């Protein structure tokens, strides 16, 4: 599923930067009991799509990968694609929040994001991605 998603993202990214982290396995977080482990990666692309166009495209890819449009909240899924940020845009709407409000709370996001963009600092952040990751590791020891 991740390979499918990466191939599809390569198609829509057009020209420019395409960064892909390694794959990271993680335990389910805030999921129903007996949920399987997840495989996570982060991709940074440049695209001519607007944030909402990109979101709709990602939701379409999820459905093509077998994810039903009506699914259990945080339940097991074939593919889950999120927009973490879109340049320095700040969007707070019912459909989309950017930067994603829980990036800094999720090791399964911070670890691959920090791998490809350790010095990234997004609107509203007081530290870089790597610094948030370092603080996260201190909190869980």
Which residues are catalytic, by number?
67, 77, 80, 82
Q: Where are the beta strands (DSSP E) in 36-81?
A: 38-40, 43-45
Q: Which of 43, 37, 47 is nearest to 5 (CA)?
A: 43
Length of the chain equals 141
Structure tokens at 56: 């709709």
Closest listed residue to residue 42, CA positions, set 111, 137, 128, 131 = 111
Q: How many whole angstroms separate alpha carbon 9 and alpha carbon 17? A: 12
């Amino acid at each position: 599923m991740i390979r499918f998603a990466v191939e599809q993202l390569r198609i829509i990214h057009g020209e420019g930067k395409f960064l892909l982290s390694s794959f990271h396995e993680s335990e389910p977080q805030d999921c129903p009991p007996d949920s399987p482990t997840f495989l996570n990666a982060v991709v940074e692309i440049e695209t001519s799509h607007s944030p909402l166009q990109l979101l709709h495209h990602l939701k379409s890819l999820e459905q093509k990968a077998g994810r039903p449009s009506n699914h259990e909240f945080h339940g097991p899924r074939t593919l889950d694609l999120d927009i973490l940020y879109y340049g320095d845009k700040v969007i707070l709407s019912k459909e989309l929040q950017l930067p994603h409000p829980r990036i800094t709370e999720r090791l399964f996001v911070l670890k691959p994001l920090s791998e490809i963009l350790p010095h990234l600092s997004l609107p509203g952040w007081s530290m870089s991605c790597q610094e948030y990751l370092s603080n996260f590791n201190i909190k869980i020891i």
